[in-house]
Structure 1
Amino acid sequence: MDKQASGPRVVVGIDGSTSSHAALLWAVRYADQISGSVDAVAAWELPGMYGWSGPVVDTSLDEDNARQRLVQELGDVLGTEKASSVRALLVRGNPADVLLRAAEGAEALVVGSHGRGGFARALLGSVSHQVAQHANCPVVIVRSKAS
């Protein structure tokens, strides 16, 4: 799943939310239209790493297991065949920072309108807001039908 294709690249943020699944579907359709590739990026960070707003994550995170879950999530959303064409990236760091770095040189950065979890909803769209303000490429914010 570690394919690097030449040509236009679309980066999509994945966090397990319905909104990020809608963003993944949008990114794959768009990449197909421009004959591009898709990098699905999931970020993780340790609790307290970035102050009070950092998500609570198990400090015993098994990166291999998390990477396998990401690949499984891509397969569940896209189907196994389509998911095999998407590059899955699990990166440690603040989600907005990780996505901004991943999107350098990309055709577009695609994110969901909000993340998962009760506290994340209180910060409605904080990552999407940050990337929209700071990305060096077009940013697409996708709402899920459930939003």
Structure 2
Amino acid sequence: MQPSEGSRIVVGVDGSPSSHAALRWADRYARGVGGAVEAVSVWDTPSSRGWSGPAIDPDFDLGQARELFERELHEVFPDGLPDGLTRHLVEGDPSEVLIRASEGAEMLVVGRRGRGGFARAVLGSVSQRCAQHAACPVVVIRQQDDPAR
């Protein structure tokens, strides 16, 4: 099946080297098919999950997440952001947000290893959940697959 013009390529960005590789891969692919990349970064307030952390101001967390997301994009694309790149910073669970974002997309691109801790590993990785439940094909990129490395 040939990709259609204006293909929407969603990529999860979490600050990990593999998500940076996924973002570069998605950009190369989108340019090849005349599509556009939607970079999705997910944040949450640690204390919103219960007693796991100190009470923190959600506005502060959002500001921190926004700064980190912008810094990551400029780190991956130091010569300037690609034309047509859209950014979405969403509060929530990373796999749920990316699965929702996959609706209507040609492809979802995620890194193999993100910043998840042991608890997430027990429940299953974000990339695994996306591969099982996304509404479109999923490409999982390892940092080692990144030719820009």
Report the TM-score, using the length of structure 2 for normalisation.
0.78
Structure 1 segments unaligned to the other structure (5+ residues):
1-5
Q: Distance in 2 between matches of 1:109 and 1:58?
A: 33
Post-superposition offset of 1:28: 0.3
SS in 2 for 1:115: coil
Structure (1 or 2) with the larger CA radius of gyration: 2
Post-superposition offset of 1:85: 3.5
Alignment of 1:1-147 (within 5 A): 7-47=6-46, 49=48, 59-60=56-57, 61-83=60-82, 85-116=84-115, 118-119=117-118, 122-123=121-122, 126-145=125-144
Are the aligned partners of 2:99 and 2:134 in contact in 1 as well (CA < 8 Å)? Answer: yes
Q: Distance in 2 between matches of 1:20 and 1:94?
A: 16
What is the aligned-residue identity percentage? 51
Q: Distance in 2 between matches of 1:75 and 1:50?
A: 30
Post-superposition offset of 1:72: 2.1
User: Which segment drifts farther, 118-127 or 89-98?
Assistant: 118-127
Cα-to-partner distance string for 1:11-68 (whole Å, 9 max, x where unaligned): 000000001001001000010011011011011123365689x9x7983334244223
- Inter-CA distance 51–68: structure 2 relative to 1 (3 Å threshold): closer
Report the TM-score, using the length of structure 1 for normalisation.
0.79
Structure 2 segments unaligned to the other structure (5+ residues):
none
